[in-house]
Structure 1
Amino acid sequence: MEIYRSRSSQVWGWLCVGLGAAILLIQLIGSGLNGFSVGFGVAVAFAAVGAAAFLRPAVAVGRDAVEFRNVTQTVAIPFSRLAGLEAHWSLELVGDDGTKVGSFAAPARSGRDRLKSPEDGASAEVATLITSAWDAYRAAPTTAAPTTAVSSPVPARADASADGSDAGGAFTRRPDLVGIGLVAAALAGIALAVFG
């Protein structure tokens, strides 16, 4: 399994975590424990946002499936249910039932790159990784290539539930409890800084 994380996200994530540590250190050196809740809350908020939004999101590509690890959920799709890739604001996978999911880890496209194919522009590296694995999956003798191609968007299925989970859909969605915990920690840090 290959894991993709953009280099810029790693840099921004560690900068946020480092900034959170620096804020806490400056608070302790400058004021000691007086007004500690403000500095601690801001430090926790910066570090948690950096970890949740920049360090944790990833694209994992295996032999027979792709997994998007976003901020608060993980979405998996087997190559047998994949219909294509698109790139608008982020790299998106399109299921054979017409549903789409975007990756928080794939670089966002700039305005001039939005009309390019997924293999061009800012998300080229991860799109090439997914396309190569998908081609290898289809070429393997134990799997059959799809006999029909999706030429136009298929409307989302009516039996998909309101929470986004879909028992029979192309994607398997599950909550990422660590990501949810980091978002909650960031919100708690902000609340502590404001009300503490």
Structure 2
Amino acid sequence: MKLTKYKHACVRISKDGKELLVDPGVWAEDEAFEGVDAILVTHEHFDHLDADRVRALDVPIWTNAGVAAELGADLADRITVVEGGQSFEAAGFQISAYGNDHAIILPELGVPCQNVGYLIEDAVYHPGDSFTKPDREVHTNLVPISGPWFTLPAAVQYVREVAAQQTVGIHDALLSEIGLTMGERWIGTQGGKPYLGLKPGDSVEIN
């Protein structure tokens, strides 16, 4: 299985000739959308969902009720609504869903929207905009390293508790080159496991 990182929180997973696209936001490169077989979306914010480009693809989508409403009733025949605690198959990939809430940005605003994390093939975990932890061992944990809701102590604690075999920094489009080193310096030192600061277009094999 191969993981390819695209801009911000968008990743693509390849296995046995199938292509799974996760969180294709407005900053994702056009090539991320080419030839995909299925799409997972964690939540409705534009940096995770480019609604126009997703609508243009005639492929099945798995997501929560908030995203389904955003995409519109005309896509209902190819959208499957999921919640945390459910498992399903998408384009030959086995997926487990975790959590239902986006991380809180400001306490007075409450939970901004629904958010579902996805564990793909019991190997790669994408939490969306949350630090929701899966209930089993994870090989590759995709860890947000910036954002309005992000806090460094929470991210470090999350990485420690998940204890994945390796960590990949995502949700990073807002960071400068200097800021990107934060992931390696603080998050990459947790647990003595590798931290991969992948750039858009970089790939890594998941064994």
Query: Whose helix proportion is higher, 1 or 2?
Result: 1
Do both share a fold (TM > 0.5)?
Answer: no
TM range (shorter): under 0.3
- The TM-score with structure 1 as length reference comes to 0.23
Q: Which structure dedicates a bigger proportion of its chain to strand? A: 2
